[in-house]
Amino acid sequence: MGQVTKFIRIGIADKNDNPPYFDKALYEAEVDENEDIQHTVLTVTAKDHDESSRIRYEITSGNIGGAFAVKNMTGAIYVAGALDYETRKRYELRLAASDNLKENYTTVVIHVKDVNDNPPVFERPTYRTQITEEDDRNLPKRVLQYYLTLVASDSLNENETIIVINVKDVNDMPPSFPQQVYERTMDEELAVPFPIMQVVFLSTYLILVTVMGWLLGEPWVVAFAVGLCVYDTV
């Protein structure tokens, strides 16, 4: 009786019994705070020992304000919302890779880079100070107040503030007479004491002096001269 030999080919199907895995437990990247929406920051891919598995990606935590998103088929993480360095400088995302049966995780840290997008800021809109006229003898006279505009620039943006400088007067000028000699003729019958005249002296402050007469009407007094000396506190 003859023998018959048959060959049977048995194929072994791969079973999805291995979870996806990442090459690193931590990925890091940087992005400018003014980067465009949809800009890809980095791409994180996982691997799977099971050939038939299809890996999908998802951000599970740390995505504050929805600043980032991930393309679930490729693992590309991109900008999805507004970024602001002054508000948040660092995001720590937890990224999951799943093959529908098993999953694994990795951490993605994204550092937001500061961009010169804010102008300089002064603490006050107006600054006030005071100097005396003696601080600078070259200052124009009769100018009691100066308004200065100060501009601060960081090469891209600028801001300005107002500086008000009040000039304090110093009592450094002696009083002066508008005239060297004052004359007046009086009636001898006037009652005494009687104001003869008022003299105004030119100074920082108005000085008014009244000259009084007592000897008017005396037969031996025909004329007299009065010497006035005026001084201020300095």
Tell me which of 226 and 110 has the higher pLDDT: 110
Based on the domain organization, do 106 and 182 belong to the same domain?
Answer: no
- State the DSSP string of 45-74: -EE-SSTT---EEEEEE--GGG-EEE-TTT
In a domain, 74, yes or no: yes
Kindly report, residue by residue over 115-169, the tens digit of the pLDDT.
877 778 888 888 888 877 666 666 666 677 888 888 888 777 788 888 888 887 7
Based on the domain organization, do 180 and 160 belong to the same domain?
Answer: no
Cα–Cα distances (Å) from 132 to 145, 180, 202, in that order, read 11, 32, 21
In a domain, 4, yes or no: no
Phi-psi region of 90 (alpha: psi -120 to 50; beta: other; left: phi over 0): beta
Q: What tokens appear for 126 in the block?
A: 């107006």
Kindly report, residue by residue over 212-222, the tens digit of the pLDDT.
555 545 554 44
Q: Using the predicted structure, report yes or no on whether residue 179 has a pLDDT greater than 80.
A: no
In a domain, 63, yes or no: yes
Based on the domain organization, do 73 and 100 belong to the same domain?
Answer: yes
Based on the domain organization, do 209 and 176 belong to the same domain?
Answer: yes
Based on the domain organization, do 228 and 207 belong to the same domain?
Answer: yes
**Interval 13-38 mean pLDDT:** 86
Which of 14-18, 88-92, 156-160 bottoms out in mean pLDDT, i.e. has the lowest? 14-18
**Interval 176-185 mean pLDDT:** 67
Based on the domain organization, do 153 and 181 belong to the same domain?
Answer: no
Based on the domain organization, do 145 and 177 belong to the same domain?
Answer: no
Token pair 């740390």 in the structure block, residue: 62
In a domain, 2, yes or no: no
CB 108 within 8 A of CB 56: no
In a domain, 220, yes or no: yes
| Cα gap 196→183, rounded to integer Å | 10
**pTM summary value:** 0.53
Looking at the structure of the chain, the number of domains it has is 3
Based on the domain organization, do 27 and 99 belong to the same domain?
Answer: yes
pLDDT of residue 31: 97
Domain hosting residue 164, numbered range: 126-168
Based on the domain organization, do 101 and 157 belong to the same domain?
Answer: no
In a domain, 5, yes or no: no
In a domain, 3, yes or no: no
Based on the domain organization, do 218 and 143 belong to the same domain?
Answer: no
In a domain, 75, yes or no: yes
No. of H helices and E strands in the chain? Answer: 0, 14
Pairing of strands 26-32, 126-132: unpaired
